[in-house]
Amino acid sequence: MNETTQPGQGEQQRGPDTPAPAPAAPDEQIETPRPDEPSAEDEAQRYLALAQRTQADFENYKRRTSRELTEARRRGAGELARELLPALDNLDRAIEHADKDDPLLQGVAIVREEIVASLGRAGIESYSPLGEQFDPTLHEAVATAPAPDGQDASGKVIEVYQAGYRIGESVIRPARVVVGA
């Protein structure tokens, strides 16, 4: 007799009516965990940490985009203000040089106030540094002059030719000033 068995030999052929072999007893199905496989608890901890990192990344993304949006709005308002300020300066000059009896003066003054109010709603404010110490980050010196009446105004703003404008802490246009010598 041949000692090697060929497939199909020694096995009982199962037909469609033959029942499947009974499963092994429950004691035989217990597998011992392999040392290289993580436990279910380790997997849960890993997924929890991943979810927490993802949530933190999303919160950081929301804060960053909010800051970027605020900064973009501020830049846009600043650019618009830079374009409008020369027109506002011209309105100031028109008001300054107009005859007080001119009926158009009141209309020009109203238009100027509406523009200033609109700039204010956008967070843009004017500043006039008269009497302050000269600061090259806020002021543009257009001239120097001796202090009036013997006052000690050396290095201080003694006259403002043109008001400065800023949005928050950012200077849109420095104030044009005369500095005491």
Ordered by start, the domain boundaries in the chain are 41-122, 125-181
Q: Please, are residues 111 and 65 in contact by the beta-carbon 8 Å criterion?
A: no
Q: Where are the beta strands (DSSP E) in 8-162?
A: 124-127, 139-145, 157-162
Q: Please, are residues 160 and 130 in contact by the beta-carbon 8 Å criterion?
A: yes
Residue 26 amino acid letter? P
* Overall average pLDDT of the 65-87 stretch: 92
Domain 41-122 part of CATH 3.40.140: no
Strand partners, 131: none
Is 0.85 topped by the overall pTM? no
Residue 77 has pLDDT above 70, yes or no: yes
* pLDDT-derived band at 32, boundaries 50, 70, 90: low
Q: Given this model, what pLDDT does residue 79 score? A: 92
Q: Please, are residues 178 and 157 in contact by the beta-carbon 8 Å criterion?
A: yes
* Overall average pLDDT of the 117-138 stretch: 91
Q: 125-181 belongs to which CATH class? A: mainly beta
Tens digit of each residue's pLDDT (9 = 90 or more) over 140-161: 999 988 877 767 778 889 999 9
